[in-house]
Structures are given as structure tokens and as C-alpha cells.
Amino acid sequence: MTRRQFLKKSKKALKDTSHLLVMVIEITGKEDKGKISPREVDEKWEIIRQEIESIFAGYEKIKPPSKCISFYRRILNILVDFQEMVTYKKEYLRADDLNNEEIEKKRHKTSQQMEILWSDFKTLNEEVTTQLSKK
């Protein structure tokens, strides 16, 4: 695989992931405002989790050139972090034994995780775009 082919596949994986990140923001906003039922929230989180798994599985199979290993690992790490955040969110949403204070703490934790993930994602996306624009 050439460097350019790798960067194109990386860009596609990041583009697919960005769509899911936007979905997370939309779901979280609706959830915070009470405009979505808990059942719908759970279904949407499950769809996102499955999509992340699919993106990860497809991306994991590619063989990057040796000069691109760090990009490859960073993208895999972002996908793993995203999946862990979604799984954490789903687990606490399903927990029946949490009081409002515990739910708020966990919601705050996922918000912080999301901010970090979004920042890392944007940085990596910009780096891949820059590398792609070089000849």
C-alpha cells in the first residue's frame, strides 16, 4: 500500500467517524433536553457502537507503510477511545441503581471524554488532510 492510498483510507475512516461524533452530540443534546425517550437513546447508542466496530474492523485490516505507522496507531486509538466512551455511556444508562447525582457525575465524565476525543480527532484529521495535500 502506498502512503497516499493509506492516507485516503485514513481520511475515509475519519470522515465516517466524524459522522458518528456529530450523532453523539445530537443525541446528547436531545437527551439533556428530555426530547428523546430512554429507549430511543439506548437504540441510537447501540447503532453508534456497531458503526464504530465496523469502522475499526475495516481500518484495522489495512497494512500501512512503515512511515505511516504512527498515524495508523493514533487513528486506531481514537476509534478505541470512542468505542469505550460509547460503551461506558450505554452501561450507565442501563443501570437501574444509580441516583440522580451519580448519573450527573457519569454524564459529566462522558462529556469530558467527548471533548478530549473531539479535540484529538480534529487534530488528527487536520494532520491527515495536510499530509494528503502534499505531493
What's the CA gap between 86 and 52, in Å, rounded? 9
pTM of the model: 0.85
> What is residue 5's predicted lDDT score, i.e. its pLDDT?
93
Q: Name the grid cell of 3.
A: 502512503
pLDDT at 96: 65
Q: What local confidence, expressed as pLDDT, does residue 55 receive?
A: 96
Residue 57 dihedral angles phi and psi, to the nearest 5°:
-60, -40
Question: What is the number of other CB atoms lying within 10 angstroms of the CB of residue 10?
Answer: 25
Query: In the 8-state DSSP scheme, what is residue 97?
Result: S
Q: What is the mean pLDDT of each run of 10 residues along the chain (135 residues)?
A: 93 93 86 82 90 95 93 94 85 69 75 84 92 83
Distance CA 35, CA 109 (A): 21
